[in-house]
Each structure stands twice: as C-alpha cells, then as structure tokens.
Structure 1
Amino acid sequence: MAAIAAGALALPAGAHAGLLDYVGQCVPFARAASGIQIFGDAWTWWSQAAGRYVRAHTPRVGSVIVFARTARLPLGHVAVISRVVEKRVVMLTHANWSRQNGERGHTEQDVTLFDVSPANDWSQVKVWYLGVEGLGGSVYPVEGFIYPGAAKAAPGLSGKNPDDIAALIDAYAR
C-alpha cells in the first residue's frame, strides 16, 4: 500500500480504482495522485513548494494547480492536471469540487479547466461543475503549477478515452 499521512488517502500500488473512489478533501487526494509531499491547506502549497519543487505557470500532466485563497475558496483548492488538450484548455482530476448525490468530497476525473486570464497566463480559470454540466460561472485566481519532479503521479489520472472535443466545446462554445 502507498499510504499517505494518517487518516489520509491510501492507494494500492498499481491500482487506480482507489484513486477514483476516494471521498474527502482535495489536499490528501492531490498529494497521493501527484506524489508531491506538501501538507497543510491548499492555499499554502504554492509558498511551501518554493525551493522544494519547480513552480511555473504552464500546465503539465501530473502537475498540481494551486487555486488562490478567496472568499469563495477560503482554504484554496488543489487539483492534478490529467491531460493537456490545447494551450488554454486542460483536464484535471480532483476531489471535493462538485456535489455528487448531494454530497461533496467525491473525485472527478478529466474535468475541463479553461484559462480565462486576459494575458493567457493561467492566472484565472473556470472549472467544469457537475451541477451545471458545464463550466461554472465563477472565475478563480490561480497561483500556478507545481511540478512533481521525480515523484510519480498515480496511474489513472486520465481516463482511457477522455473527451477532448467536449472539453473544447465546454471552453469555447458556451
């Protein structure tokens, strides 16, 4: 077993079913899914990564995107990039975003993330939300991306047949 902190996510080696069955907070999920060993609230990950991991403003598969702390996201949010579709559209896999069966905490795989920043620098994004079956109306500020370095991302971040076309439609047609 690849166990993370006590009470956090534990994934069997080589099995991604546990990754997608996880129910809980975004931080233990992102840590287990990316291999990045940072602890604490999501909004603190960006500063904690300084000097420990490469930080940048370009999404890469396996990198963790750090959402800034806001009134709407007082603890921030972290998610793992599962697929790069094109320059301004990626997919992410994360926990504790959309409500599923009336409750939060569930994992979602290959969710559309759209860069809506005026400078095309991934500083502001919109996220696909199950409740509206499309991009939500809120724009979220982003600190950037933390690259895992030698850490290995968990298998199963992206599905076998992710729908790139739907991601592009979500981003550009609505």
Structure 2
Amino acid sequence: MRVYRKVIILGLAAASMTPANARPAIDGLTDSAGSITGSGIDSQAGSALVIPKAPGHLECVPYARTTSGIQIYGDAHTWWSQAKNRYATGHAPRVGAVMAVQPYNNSRLGHVATVSRIVDSRTILLSHANWSVPGKIERNVTALDVSPANDWSQVRIWYGPARGLGTTHWPVSGFIYNAKPGTVRDLGSTRLAAAAAPVKMAPLRPVKMAKSASARRSDPIGAIIAGAY
C-alpha cells in the first residue's frame, strides 16, 4: 500500500513540474473527419489556403503571421504602412493575402486577417483571431465587400455571437501579399469598379439589303430577319 502511495505522490509531483507551454495545441484546423471547420455563411465551403496549426488562443497579429507567412510585427494598424517597400500591396483580395482593417469604433489597434478563399467579387472567407471572442481563432468566416465602388475599402465581417455578418462597415486599407513590391498587379479601385460594372453592348447596325430581286432570293433568311423580304 505504501508503494502505491509513493508512486501516486511522485506522479503528481512530476505533473506539477511540467511547463505550461508543453501542452499540445488545443485548436486544430480540422475536425475528426478531416474537414476544415469554421463558422459563417460559407463555413462548409472549404478553403484554398492550407492553414498551419496554432494554439487555441491568439491575438490577430501573430495568427496572421502564421497563416500568411508575412513577417511584420507590431500593432495591426501599423501593418499597412510597414508593408510599404517590403511587400506587395493592393486592393484586390487574393488567397493568402492579409486584409488590413483600420482602427474604427471600439477597435483602436486595427485588425489583420488572412484571406482563405475567394467566393465571388463581393465575398471572401477569412481566417483570423481575436475578433468575435477575445483570443479565439475563427477559420473560413465570411467577409462581404460593401464599398460602393466594389474596391474592398469597406467590409462587413462575420460576428460569432450574432451568428451573422455584423452591421458595422469596417474601413480597409487594402491587402498585403506575401511577395516582393511590384510583383503583384494591383487592380485598384478604378479597374475593380469597371470590372464590376454591367457590360455595355454595342448597338446593332441595320443590315443593308440589296434592292434587286435576285439578291433577296439569294439570302431569304437574312431578308426575313431584317424585315425586308
């Protein structure tokens, strides 16, 4: 009996000496079936970005570094200015790029989030941390472009407690790409707006038909369409 008691005491002592940072990550990227998990309208849509595992509780900045590979440090609102002459930047979302959200309302330090998928010209999926719940990681959540010019200068972002897109129009500085400056083409607000505009079709020109009967008989279908047969 004394031997068992000694073993238990030694086991408890060893457990108390184990460092806290030695515990495994508690928030992996996939569920038991191997599917990418997340919240949002498009949570089951999957992702084109392979997101490495990370601890379950993080600030947005270290998580954005982990998911994008962009090595910028400091508060989120400084990322856009720090990226100048270091990384390519632009106003079009791309998978793996970091969206830089400006300070607004109760967000005094700004926010950064990694684009994990492009759904359409107005919708992307984000993977980020410290947004809906302090320190919590959210993967593949929806962000909707609500800017009048479709230039991604204003977005609404999925907010977990509300189970839907938040009502705030968050101002966005742009997207930071993990590439050298000048190597990624920036569509810019003007080109994005033009791309989103309806395509204008050129007016149809009236078909000139020959006056002779032989000409009408040579192309009766065309003449019927033109109303000249």
* TM-score normalised by L of structure 2: 0.55
Distance 2:29 2:81 in 1: 29
By relative contact order (CA 8 Å, sep 6+), the higher-ranking structure is: 1
Structure with more helix by fraction: 2
Q: Deviations over 1:90-130 (max 9, x none)?
A: 0000000112xxxx111101000000001110000000111
1:132-151 equivalences in 2 (<5 Å): 132-149=162-179
- Structure 1 residue ranges, 4+ long, deviating more than 6 angstroms after superposition: none
| 1:46 paired residue number | 80
Alignment check: 8 A CA contact 1:20 1:109 kept: no
Q: Deviations over 1:116-152 (max 9, x none)?
A: 00111000000011111110111100000000128xx
Percentage identity across paired residues of the two chains = 51
Deviation at 1:71, TM superposition (A): 3.4
Secondary structure, aligned partner of 1:131: helix
Secondary structure, aligned partner of 1:30: helix
Distance 1:98 1:60 in 2: 23
Output the aligned Cα RMSD. Answer: 2.0
| Aligned residue identity for 1:84 | I
Alignment check: 8 A CA contact 1:24 1:105 kept: yes
1:86-165 equivalences in 2 (<5 Å): 86-99=120-133, 104-149=134-179
In structure 1, the gaps of 5 or more residues are 1-10, 151-174
Alignment check: 8 A CA contact 1:36 1:148 kept: yes
Structure with more strand by fraction: 1
1:78 maps onto 2:105 in alignment: no
Alignment check: 8 A CA contact 1:63 1:148 kept: yes
Secondary structure, aligned partner of 2:161: coil
Q: Deviations over 1:55-107 (max 9, x none)?
A: 000000000000012232100000000000000100000000112xxxx1111
Pair 1:20–1:132, CA change in 2 (3 A): farther
Alignment check: 8 A CA contact 1:20 1:108 kept: no
State the aligned residue count. Answer: 134
In structure 2, the gaps of 5 or more residues are 1-23, 31-51, 181-229
Pair 1:89–1:50, CA change in 2 (3 A): same
Secondary structure, aligned partner of 2:144: strand
